[in-house]
Amino acid sequence: MLSYPERAAQVMEHLVTCPSHGYSQYSRQGDGGTETVTLADGSTVTIATGDRDCSSSVIDAWEHALPGSTGGATYTGNMRRGFTESGCFAWHPWGDGYQPKRGDVYLNETHHTEMYLGGGKLAGFRGSERGTIDGAEGDQTGRESRISDVYTYSKGWDGILAYVGPEPEPEPTFTEDDMNCFIEIPAEGDVRSALTVWLCNDRIHDLSHPDDVKYVNECYKACFGKDMPVVKLSASKDKPEFQRLVQAIEGGIPSADLIPSIAILPSRSEHRADGNDGTE
């Protein structure tokens, strides 16, 4: 999964290199249409077609990367407040020694802003084909928006908005190669009270209700076209076989802490919600 700064940078790269996006302050939010941009990890974002200006492009890129990260900013004059108040950015006054990273934002709070892409490059929207604040839709010259070397803005940069926000949660992976099985643990002298737990890689999940087993198995079967394997222990919860299994998986955590239902295992058959006493 791409980081949020990487997502923002890739959206910005699309905006400044696609000729359908030119410079306009009058049509800075696009023309009402939409287009889909595919990012490097295969994920997609839907953005407005049409023109942008310097601030709307940077705000747009970051809002599509991480909604809410711009704090409601609308133009260069409130970008510093909005971005920092969102909690996702820190402000570095120009010349404080901060080294920008991909996705950071160069800002003159009165006149101009661009996004830093890394490798000494900036991306931004700079002016229409007429050298004014509006022109024909799209990039007529190939220079209304562009990527260039980092430069000293004629009116100076006030500072850099540096991303300090969260990173995306890693997407869970689940394949048939993972260790997935049900483990049936009999009670001492009462096979009707067997408890079923779910072993998923290095975690044991307590399945305290018979329906838990049913629905976990249905999910597994939907993914792999077969029932989840079942391991039936020959020894009860109090015997070394089970205790050593728990120790191997969970590093010695007591089984009662991992599987609360262990404590009521002997009477499990008396409380089954489906009325089955375990003999069927």
User: Per residue in 109-167, pLDDT tens?
Assistant: 999 999 999 999 999 999 999 989 999 998 999 999 999 999 999 999 999 999 999 99
Are 197 and 95 part of one and the same domain? no
- pLDDT for the residue 150: 97
pLDDT score for 175: 59
**Residue 265, pLDDT above cutoff 60:** no
Residue 8 has pLDDT above 50, yes or no: yes
Q: Please, which pLDDT band fits residue 173 given cuts at 50, 70 and 90?
A: low
Both 223 and 88 in a single domain? no
Q: What is the pTM of this model?
A: 0.64
β-pairing, 230-232 with 180-187? parallel
Q: Report DSSP letters for 207-253, one per residue.
A: --SHHHHHHHHHHHHHHHSSPPPEEE-SS-TTSHHHHHHHHHHHTT-
The more confident residue out of 258 and 237 is: 237
Q: Which domain holds residue 40?
A: 4-163
For residue 175, being part of any structural domain is answered with: no
Quick one: pLDDT at residue 225?
81
Q: Are 151 and 187 in the same domain?
A: no
Q: How confident is the model at residue 266 (pLDDT cuts 50, 70, 90)?
A: very low
CA 148 to chain centroid: 30
What pLDDT does residue 189 have?
Answer: 52
Q: Quick one: 128 and 206 in the same domain?
A: no
76 has a pLDDT exceeding 90:
yes
Looking up residue 127, the CATH number of its domain turns out to be 3.90.1720.10
How many domains, the chain? 2
**Within a domain: residue 94?**
yes
120 and 192, same domain (yes or no): no
Determine, yes or no, domain membership for 273: no
For residue 230, what pLDDT is reported? Answer: 83
Q: Work out the number of other CB atoms within 10 angstroms of the CB of residue 57.
A: 25
> 117, 137, 163: which is the final residue of a domain?
163
Residue 148 lies in a domain: yes
Please indicate, yes or no, whether residues 233 and 206 belong to a single structural domain of this protein. yes
- Highest averaged pLDDT of the listed ranges 63-72, 166-175, 193-202, 244-253: 63-72
3-state SS, residue 83: helix
* 276: its two tokens: 């089955």
Q: Which of 32-46, 204-218, 241-255, 265-279 has the highest mean pLDDT?
A: 32-46
Q: Is the pLDDT of residue 277 over 50?
A: no
| In a domain? residue 260 | no
Can you tell me the distance from the alpha carbon of 230 to that of 213, in angstroms, rounded to the nearest whole number? 11
Q: How many whole angstroms separate alpha carbon 125 and alpha carbon 21?
A: 9
Name residues whose C-beta falls within 8 Å of residue 72's C-beta, 6 or more positions apart in sequence: 78, 82
